Every structure is written in C-alpha cells, then in structure tokens.
Amino acid sequence: MDNKELITPQCLVEGDETYDLVYEKSYVMTDTRLHYCPGCGHSTAHQILAEVIQELGIQENVVGIAPVGCSVFAYDYLHIDWQEAAHGRATAVATGVKRCLPDKYVFTYQGDGDLAAIGTGETIHCVNRGENIMIIFINNGVYGMTSGQMAPTSLEGMKTTTSPYGRNVHTMGYPIRVSELIAPLPGAFYVTRQSVHTPNAVRKTKKAITNGFEYQKLGKGTSFIEIISNCPSNWKMTPAQANQFIENEMLKYYPVGDIKVPSKEDLKDLVK
Amino acid sequence: MEQKDDIRLMKGNEAMAEAAIQAGMDAYFGYPITPQSEVLEYLTREMPNRNFLALQAESEVASINMVYGAAGAGARVMTSSSSPGWSLMQEGVSYIASAQLPCLLVNVNRGGPGLGTIQPSQGDYFQATKGGGHGDYRLLVLAPNSVQEMADFVFLGFELADKYRTPVLMLSDGAIGQMMERVIFHKREIKKIDKPWATTGKPKDRERNIITSLFIQPEKMEKVNLELMKKYEEIEKNEVRYEEIMTEDAEYIIVAYGLSARISHKVVILAREKGIKLGLLRPITLWPYPSEVLNKLADRVKGMFVVELNAGQMIEDVRLAVNGKIKVAHYGRMGGIIPSPEEVEEHFEKFIKTL
C-alpha cells in the first residue's frame, strides 16, 4: 500500500462513517488560512501546538503570547486566548499574565530575532526568575518577516540580506546558542532543542511541548523548547533543500536533544 | 461602632503605594529609580501580609510589558517610575493605549533631559500630555499637588482606567513624592468591574479573546483610531478637573499645576496683600485640559501668568485655550530648582507692568 492509498478514504459516502481516518485537523486550529510560505516550519509547529492543547484537554486554560516576527499572527490560528506582545517582550508579558493567573497554562511563541536579539534581557530574566511558563523558541537563523536579514542565530558564513558576503563572526558576532546559555540558570526546569524537519523530529517536538505544558502543574520553573526550523523563502531554497540544510548545517551547530531534564524526584508529583 | 478615618504622616510615594493596596491593586511591576523607589520598597514590605503582588522587574521596559500582560489578563495593575525610566516605558504605553488596557501609571518627574537630576521638575509635561510614545493616543493625566492627592488619585486613577479601558497617568514630581504630609485614608467601597475582554482562558461558550495592537489592514487600523478618538472625546466631555482659587474678582490669573500650584497659591496671597487682584487656576487633569474655563476667564481678566518647573510647556495649552484674547507669559525654573513665592511674585509684577 503506498502513501496515496493510505490517505485516500476507502468509502466516503454521506452518512457512512466507516472510512479510514488517517488525519484530522485539530479543533484547536482555526479555519484561517496560514500566511506562512510553503514548507515553513511555523505551520508544523502551530499544528503540533494545537494537537497537544487538544490532547491535554486544556484549551480553556491556555493563554498564548505571540511575538513580533513571522509568527506575529499566531493568534489568528489557534482557538485560544492570546496576547500579542511588543517585539522581544513576550516573556515579560507572559510574566504579567502568569503571575495574575497562576492556574492557567501560559506559553510564549517567539522567533530568534524576537527572543535572542531584542528580547535577550527579558528572556534571561524570565528564566532566571523561574517563571512557571513554557517558552517556545523557533530558530531558523534569519529574520523572516522583514525578508531575510541576519539573525543572532545565523550560522557563520551564512548569506543574508544584511550579511551579503556571509556572516563574518569577527565583525558580526557568533551565532548564539540560547538553550546552552540559559540551561545553567537555576530557574530553568526543562531545556530541550528539537526540530521539525522530519516526521520523527516532529514526534519528539510534540513530546517536548507536551512536557512544557505538563511541567507547569509543578510550578518548578521555566520550560524552554527550542525548535530548529527552516526558512525556504529567505534561504532561497525549496522546502526539501531547506530541510536538508537543517540536517546538514543547522544541526551541526545546534545539536538536537535534551539540554536540561528534570529528575525523577522533580517529577514525582506529576499526576498524569 | 463607627470606624475612624485612618490618618498617617507619610511621603507622597508611600501614600501612593498604600492607596494602591487599599484600592484593591492586584499587581505592581516596577524598577528602582530616584525619586520614587519608596513605592517598590513599601509594596515589597507590605506584600507578605496583604493580598497583592509586587515584582521587581529587570528594567522599566520589562515592567511596562508585565503591566500589559497583567492588564490583559484582567488584573488591576500599576507601575511607577521617574523621568528616564518613564521614557523607557513609552513603547509599552503606546501598545497599552492601542490595545485599550486599563492600568495606572505614575511618573514622579525629575529634572532632565538625559539622566538629568533627581530633584523635582515638570519637564515631562509635553511627554505626558502630547503623546510620549508613537501613534495617535492620549493618556488621561492626573496632577496631584499634595501627598493627600497622590493617595486620592490612585483610587480615582484605577476607576477612570477601568471606566474608559484606558491607561491613566499620574504626573507627580520629586518634591510631592518625597515630602511628608498628613494623609487621610477614608473608608471607601472599592468598585471593580467585569472585564469580559480579558484573556483568562477561552471557555467553550465564548470566542477567543485577543489582546493586540496590530491591525495591519489600513481600514481596520483607522477603525481602531476612530474608536480611540471617540473614547477620548468622551473623556474630554466628562473628566476635565481643575481648582479655582480667588478667581471670582481676579484681574490676573496664574495657571499652574502640581508643585507649581502650591507655590503659586502663596504668590496669590502675597499679591492680594499688596492689593493686586490675582487668582489661581490649577488644572488637575492635564489631559483633558481645562481649556473652556480658561477661555471664559480670558474674557474678564487682563493677563495670565503660567508658572512651571520647566522651560515653558503648559503655556502652549494656555495660549491655545485663550486663543489670543489676552497676553500670556511664563515663568519657570529648571534643573530641579524650586523658586520661592517671592521670586515668582516679583516676576509676576514685572509681567503685569507690560499689560
């Protein structure tokens, strides 16, 4: 049986429920058409997020904080309460929300320019206070929304519209590994780096985001989930090439895997 | 048994902090800066025994964005700062105004520009009343002239913020914030209203709530602008506040607010002792501005003298209000210097000789 057969309903007659359902859009996703470019990792990350919220049954208890960048419209796509923050300030906004609504699940969804350049201070201090939230950090090494300028996470030698001859680390600084930077902070409870370029990677990312919500029940600190993503449009690649670039280049500098995990002792109060 | 009013001797900054707790404030976010650090100190000291949150942020930029988040979550929330810190907050204030989030903001004005001084000033009048941040918005600005008013305007500020879903600014200064006076905390009934627009988690029976200031389609952005303008018109209609002192028979008027108004009150007494019929108009709301009353006064007085601790900022609003009917002059000191009533009176007398 090939893929096409797998995803073709066997018997789709009105009133007849006996067909093979292999995929259904999460009801947490709205019907708004995603504005992301074809092949963009944001779409995948959004769907994972929606699925996790649905599976955990927490739709009524989630508040999301959207950033400035490509995912500035994140609030259009998920059926949950949202706040749209100023550029870089999502973790400060999330702090305000969570401190006033400690029983809600609060997360930020931020890109690399937002979180690792203009919002570095807010990010570090939010984690250092151990704010009981989840930070989802989409790292694709480029400013997508403003059409492809160098990000703090752009790889050495990477050509962007503001590093047209390639990123020279001696004059433009080095690509910053935020997960490694914040993991040593005592307020960081769970720090992991995942990606969305293969089905297996998507499954692992989904698990990480599930953890990020679940751990908020414990009130023991910040969950930080970095997701290595792509930018076919600004990398000037096809989606397939872009995913290959993640595998061959991005993951060399930004290796996937858990960077800080809670101990069994830490998790003993987690009721499933 | 009837409960007596609570009378205390306090600094303006402390009175403001105490009032905030009594007004049912849920959360305060702030960053230390002279001359208003007593607010965060007072609140963190009181926090263990009373039901609210006070959090020291890593910067004023973070403070104002925490205020945004908390206000969006439906909390009664506040921050305070002084001039350089207030400048840092302007981006966030613009977002808060656009997203229509009720909150109380306080600027205990010190001398500037730049790092300036830590002494009192009224140099932030333009910033407070003409914008401060980017885009078309207004702040409802309350100007206290005593420790008592620093306390009273906290209650009023929270109520007005909720009523209009708008940020309210209390513009004080380093003298009123730092000086100690008697302050009475009256027993009050605290009113809190429902905030069905707040992001508290989307129940099944309502659409999702979104707090945003992004309206990327021009038609939608203009609609929000018009909505804001309508609200501001309503505020201008209902919320103009001012105090008149000896204006009934006045031939001349001093216009001054806050600390300058206290000095000017004494100037009025000095002038009256010399037989000069001087009155004082003290704007309590700096926006909306008491333009109408000034315009009417201009029909029966010979001149207006604007006293400010700056190079001449509010004088522009006085001139707009009187619209060329009479002569308007300014006297101000800067750099944190507070003029004596005698000094102001001398300059006032020079002014009336020119009329």
Question: What pLDDT, in 10s, does the model give residues A204-247?
Answer: 999 999 999 999 999 999 999 999 999 999 999 999 999 999 99
B136 shares its domain with B221: yes
What's the whole-model pTM score? 0.95
**B133 Cβ under 8 Å from any chain A Cβ:** no
B209 shares its domain with B256: no
Residue B300 lies in a domain: yes
**B270 Cβ under 8 Å from any chain A Cβ:** no
Instruction: Look at the block and give the residue holding tokens 């792509």.
Output: A230
B291 shares its domain with B155: no
B325 shares its domain with B257: yes
The answer to whether B123 touches B109, Cβ cutoff 8 Å, is yes
pLDDT of residue A4: 64
What is the ipTM metric for this complex? 0.95
Domain that holds residue B127: 6-238
- State mean pLDDT over B342-346: 98
DSSP symbol at A29 = B
pLDDT of residue A119: 98
B185 shares its domain with B124: yes
What does the H/E/C string look like for B83-137? HHHHHHCHHHHHHHHHHCCCEEEEEEEECCCCCCCCCECCCCHHHHHCCCCCCCC
B231 shares its domain with B175: yes
With bands split at pLDDT 50, 70 and 90, how would you rate the model's confidence at B2?
Answer: low
With bands split at pLDDT 50, 70 and 90, how would you rate the model's confidence at A23?
Answer: confident
pLDDT of residue A258: 98
Reduce the DSSP state of residue A2 to 3 states and report it: coil
pLDDT of residue B4: 74
DSSP symbol at A76 = G
Q: Is the pLDDT of residue B3 over 90?
A: no
**B205 Cβ under 8 Å from any chain A Cβ:** no
Question: Are B72 and A80 within 8 A, CB to CB?
Answer: no
Q: At which of B187, B214, B238 does a domain end?
A: B238
Residue of A nearest to B73 (CA): A97
Q: Is the pLDDT of residue B30 over 60?
A: yes
B304 shares its domain with B229: no
pLDDT of residue B335: 95
H helix or E strand, kind and range, residue B351: helix B341-353
B252 shares its domain with B316: yes
Residues 6+ apart with CB under 8 A from A106: A62, A63, A64, A65, A94, A97, A98, A132, A133, A134, A216
Q: Which residues of A fall within a CB distance of 8 Å from B203?
A: 60
**Burial readout A97-120 (b: 16 or more C-beta within 10 A, e: otherwise):** bbbbbeebbbbbbbbbbbbbbbbe
CA distance A92 to chain B (A): 5
**B61 Cβ under 8 Å from any chain A Cβ:** yes
Q: Is the pLDDT of residue A20 over 80?
A: no
With bands split at pLDDT 50, 70 and 90, how would you rate the model's confidence at B131?
Answer: confident
B262 shares its domain with B316: yes
B184 shares its domain with B285: no
pLDDT of residue A15: 61
Residue B285, domain CATH: 3.40.50.920
Report pLDDT digits (tens) over A159-215.
999 999 999 999 999 999 999 999 999 999 999 999 999 999 999 999 999 999 999
- State mean pLDDT over B128-150: 97
Report pLDDT digits (tens) over B176-217.
999 999 999 998 999 899 999 999 999 999 999 999 999 999
Question: Are A100 and B210 within 8 A, CB to CB?
Answer: no
User: Alpha-carbon torsion B105, B109, B113, B114, what sign?
Assistant: negative
Lowest mean pLDDT among A3-17, A94-108, A121-135, B106-120: A3-17
Residue B161 lies in a domain: yes
Mean pLDDT of chain B: 97
Q: At which of B208, B238, B268 does a domain end?
A: B238
Report pLDDT digits (tens) over B224-282.
999 999 999 999 999 999 999 999 999 999 999 999 999 999 999 999 999 999 999 99
Q: Which residues of A fall within a CB distance of 8 Å from B95?
A: 86
With bands split at pLDDT 50, 70 and 90, how would you rate the model's confidence at B1?
Answer: low
Residue B310 lies in a domain: yes
Q: Is the pLDDT of residue A13 over 70?
A: no
Q: Where are the alpha helices (DSSP H) in chain A?
A: 3-7, 41-56, 90-100, 112-113, 120-128, 169-172, 178-182, 199-214, 232-235, 239-245, 251-253, 264-267
- Residues facing B171 on adjacent strands: B107
Question: Are A100 and B211 within 8 A, CB to CB?
Answer: no
Q: At which of B193, B212, B238 does a domain end?
A: B238
* Residue B33 burial (CB count, 10 A): 21
Give helix A41-56 / helix A199-214 axis angle, nearest 10°: 50
pLDDT of residue A7: 59
pLDDT of residue B355: 93
Whether domain A35-264 has CATH 3.40.630.30: the reply is no
How far apart, in whole angstroms, are the C-alpha atoms of residue B47 and residue B49? 6
pLDDT of residue B5: 82
pLDDT of residue A113: 96
B67 shares its domain with B136: yes
Residue B45, domain CATH: 3.40.50.970
Residue B1 lies in a domain: no
**Structural domain count of chain B:** 2
For chain B, the distance separating the N- and C-terminal CA atoms, rounded to the nearest angstrom, is 60
B218 shares its domain with B305: no
Question: Are A81 and B71 within 8 A, CB to CB?
Answer: no
Q: Is the pLDDT of residue B316 over 80?
A: yes
- State mean pLDDT over A41-47: 97
